[in-house]
Amino acid sequence: MQERIKELVEILNKANIEYHMNDNPFLSDNEYDSLLDELFKLEKQYPEYILPDSPTHKIATEVISEFKKVTHPTPMFSLADVFNEDEVKDFIKKIEKEFPNSEYVCELKMDGLAVSLIYEKGIFKSAATRGDGIIGEDITHNVKTIKTLPLKLNKDVDLEVRGEIYMSKKSFEKVNDARLKDGLKPFQNPRNAAAGSIRQLDSSISRQRDLNIYLYHLPNSELTTHYENMQYIKQLGLPTNPNLTVAKNANEVLDYIDYWTKKRNTLPYEIDGIVIKVNNLAHQAELGSTVKYPKWAIAYKFPAVEVITKLRNITFTVGRTGQITPNAVLDPIKLAGSTVKRATLHNLDNIYHKDLRIGDYVYLRKAGDVIPEVVAPVIERRNGTEKILKMIENCPICHTKLIKSESQIDFLCPNVNCPARNIESLIHFTSRDAMNIEGLGEKILEDFYNIGIIKNITDIYNLYSKKDELIELEGFGNKSVQNLLRSIENSKHNSLERLLNALGIPGIGIKNARILAKRYENIDSLMNASVEELNKIDDIGPILANNISNFFDNPTNRIIIHTLKEIGVNMTYLGQKSLHNEYFSHKKFVITGTLSFIKRDQLKELLEKYDAKTSNSVSKNTDVVIVGADPGSKYEKALELNIEIWDEQKLKEILDSL
């Protein structure tokens, strides 16, 4: 741990210098935040290893020598970052414990450069960067060139005021076009462009860059609330961001976050989150600050579309069908509101096609905002120590020699008794979209398998005979065992589609299981269906038809199904049969944008009820695109392909007529 702390301190200190002083970041914001978060946790756990130059003791970095050093009248703090709704709620809960019924000011977090301004008798005197929070850089000559900043206020007051210097999207494009014409490297983003522009020794360069500024804080105020401060700043003639609001509770704060998460791209400038501040200034003073952050404010960071982290290793897991899956072991990093440590790499071809190597820095994103996906290596950050993956030859669990699948893409463990295959089958059987047995999670199933209580799916339904043995296990009491047995008993009454999904027929998930259950209504009819008959069903096709037929032809599987029948597991479809409607039946729909009167999941369920299909992408085979607010590219694609479009009003009229 001591070596890891030392490594993190070196990386983060270097990142601070490159980011704040040289305008040449080598870590993304999310990458930096994740490493800093890891360092905070390690220092808390191992305080004896804290280094004197740790970045957790500083707000930023030292100033560069080309600019005069300026000591701030009051320290300039940065804000603690949070990354999801739960962390926002936790912040508000802490405030409410001290000051019930508090109000909060929510503001857009500008993606620019923090600055402190001094006015004397209403006349602009000086400007300085944050620097290390105590000492900053004197950038007065450049700040004077900002057209939106008044050099004389509407009142003759002495004032220290803080804000953010930024560059608009339009100005950013203009600057980069000019740099490319001059053979110069373009800026990475508007924040870097603003920071680089404000640190020019020649103020004429800053003037050409068309910078802007918003002011958002009075460190020494005699007013009552932060909102009053903002109104006062505005009255003085200083530019403020108009998109702020006063929220009275957590729900209103989250509503503001949700609104601007969706609308951020409509702004003429970049924002990277939302700032949430306690409104009452007296309460702010009582809450105080840590060494690094004020306790009365936080910055909610928008989920990143794509981040960079290090691929530390590639390990292999065995699925319920024996498929061997390579998995990326990553340096922990915040992505879309959660910390990601692992990601599937799917198969060997995918690794070689993307040229991923152990030790690479890689781009990471969440596919569909859910599943972490390693996109590509960051080639320019390779240093020669990266290693090309050598595929394993034997199963990592039972050590049986691996074979290639029929597709020649995947590797398989052929041992049907491989413990990993059996455990994965049990985990799948009890999962939410399958038999939905609460209390039999992955860890418990592994323990039960290893001590011999459960070896196959029929053993699950005999657990009642081992009640006394279960109660003796660590972590289990009479109540938890009763709840588990009740959940197992309830699972017997599931509709057929859940059982079909749970059985683990290759390629059959809950969607196709529902199609089969509706079509055949009971398992005996399905078991007797021919390959030719199955092949004619929409969304099944020849491969799945063969998989279904082969599964039910297997004597072992038939014995399992017969045993489940005797135990009392339901084998019939309990859902509604498909209804017919001229607007919906046998059509393919795409839903885009936000619908005001019905949730997307509810609409999809309704469409399926009328034997319609839904898709996430628009193609020439799409029949109708349903459009809500802020529809995006799917709407444009529908127009391009001349596909029928329903707005909310038409959809509501059709639904009301049912």
Burial degree of 573 (CB within 10 A; 0-12, 13-18, 19+): buried
Q: Which of 109, 277, 366, 634 is catalytic?
A: 109
Identity of the amino acid at 182: D
Phi, psi (5° rounding) for residue 431? -70, 170
Would you state the structure tokens that stand for residue 479, as one six-digit string? 């109540």
DSSP tally for the chain: helices H, then strands E: 25, 24
User: Pairing relation of β-strands 588-592 and 361-367?
Assistant: unpaired
The residue type at 529: A
The interaxial angle of helices 2-20 and 29-45, nearest 10 deg, is: 140
The identity of residue 192, as a single letter, is N
638 Cβ neighbours under 8 A, 6+ residues apart: 590, 618, 622, 625, 627, 645
Give the span between the Cα atoms of 562 and 492, in whole angstroms.
14
What gap in Å lies between CA 603 and CA 658, rounded to an integer? 13
CB 22 within 8 A of CB 188: no
CB atoms closer than 10 angstroms to residue 154: 12
By the 8 A CB rule, do 414 and 403 touch? Answer: yes
- What is the rounded CA–CA span in Å between residue 230 and residue 44? 37
Q: Would you call 109 a catalytic residue per the annotation?
A: yes
Distance CA(650)–CA(648), nearest Å, equals 6
The catalytic residues are 109
